[in-house]
Amino acid sequence: MCTHDNMDLDQKTVLCDKKANGKVQPWKEKKLANVGYFELLEILQFKKAERVSTCGEILEFDITHEGRMKLAKAWFCKSPLCPMCNWRKTMKRSIQTTKIIEEVIRQKPKARWLFLTLSVKNVFDGKELDKSLKAMAEGFRRLMLYKKVKQNMIGFMRSTEVTVNKKDGSYNQHMHVLLCVESKYFKGAENYLSQEDWTSLWQKAMKLDYVPVVHIEAVKNKKRNKKKEVTAIQAAVQETAKYSVKDADYLTGNLENDLEVVKDLEEGLYRKRMIAYGGLLKEVHKRFNLDDVEDGDLVRVDDEDSDVEEKAYSIVAFWNWEQQNYYLN
């Protein structure tokens, strides 16, 4: 918990960005993780290290008459591993996707939703990861073009996630896909695809000489948790919208290990599209004029920022490298 008159020993005010729901925004935690990431890049002599270090260093907020804070200006580095940027991107993805899905449900109320996970064998270095991620994007494109897949497909959202296996240091790259299909998908052998069918289609699309791990399940659109009223579709959206990489995977505190993981992930994720929409979901994304999550604005990411509330004044918070916290000017 924090309040606006949080003071430290020097009588400086610590930033506290609290949402209407009472949730304190984790600016300090995310900036600390960003600093950890920057330090690794600096040791590895990445040119962009300097740029990453200035990510979210200065935050300008508008304060409304009601006392609400809205981020108005900031600069974010958009480096694919940056914990600060990935936090912003995840919020943005999640809100964008929820909007898109509500619209698709409105247009196609009878549609059914599936949650598909596609994976391939783990890889051991950055070069292999780069190759594997490229092959998966291409394989996914082929998979969506197969007649049996295409015939009932309304649209999809896919996101790629890379996790680190702590036991052997390998990387597991997999795709989470939220699929929207016509209801007749479940009617008859000519429409329905079992887990075995999806597995063999993915194997074929990827031209693999082994059987890959594939999982498919129907998303049941009923309330899972009555209190929170989280629908199963929203849960699948959250799963699909989450981070592509977890900073816990490369900020373990084991320097040698962290350096190697960052180096490999930088090489593997370089210029990869980690999230993509297709079919009706893509059309709705375009029609709503939603900007690109990976290259778009990371200042205004939440939905609360309706323009109805007028700003009363602004405040600016600076990251203090010595105190390792944000202070108001």
Q: List residues binding Zn ion (CB under 5 A).
A: 55, 76-77, 82, 84-85
- The pair of three-digit structure tokens given for residue 172, joined into one six-digit string: 């597991």
Token pair 């260093």: residue: 57
Q: Distance between CA 73 and CA 86 in Å, rounded?
A: 18
User: 54 or 238: whose CB is closer to Zn ion?
Assistant: 54
- Give the nearest distance from C-beta 78 to Zn ion in angstroms: 6
Q: Distance between CA 294 and CA 44 in Å, rounded?
A: 24
Which residues pair with residue 198 across a beta bridge?
none
Cα 43 → chain centroid: 27
User: 82 or 293: whose CB is closer to Zn ion?
Assistant: 82
Check residue 290 and report its DSSP letter.
P
User: 82 or 280: whose CB is closer to Zn ion?
Assistant: 82
- Give the nearest distance from C-beta 72 to Zn ion in angstroms: 18
- Give the nearest distance from C-beta 90 to Zn ion in angstroms: 13
Q: Distance between CA 203 and CA 214 in Å, rounded?
A: 9
User: 55 or 149: whose CB is closer to Zn ion?
Assistant: 55
Check residue 7 and report its DSSP letter.
B
- Candidates 302, 286, 284, 288; CA nearest to 92 is 302
Q: Distance between CA 158 and CA 175 in Å, rounded?
A: 7
96, 164, 214, 283: CA torsion to nearest 10: 20
Token pair 């929170």: residue: 228
Cβ contact 32:26 at 8 Å:
no
Q: Distance between CA 153 and CA 147 in Å, rounded?
A: 10
- Give the nearest distance from C-beta 86 to Zn ion in angstroms: 8
- Give the nearest distance from C-beta 23 to Zn ion in angstroms: 21
- Give the nearest distance from C-beta 49 to Zn ion in angstroms: 12
User: 31 or 158: whose CB is closer to Zn ion?
Assistant: 31
User: 31 or 112: whose CB is closer to Zn ion?
Assistant: 31
User: 16 or 85: whose CB is closer to Zn ion?
Assistant: 85
User: 55 or 101: whose CB is closer to Zn ion?
Assistant: 55
Helix (H) or strand (E) holding 126: helix 126-145
- Give the nearest distance from C-beta 33 to Zn ion in angstroms: 10
- Give the nearest distance from C-beta 48 to Zn ion in angstroms: 10
Neighbouring C-beta atoms of residue 23, cutoff 10 Å = 9
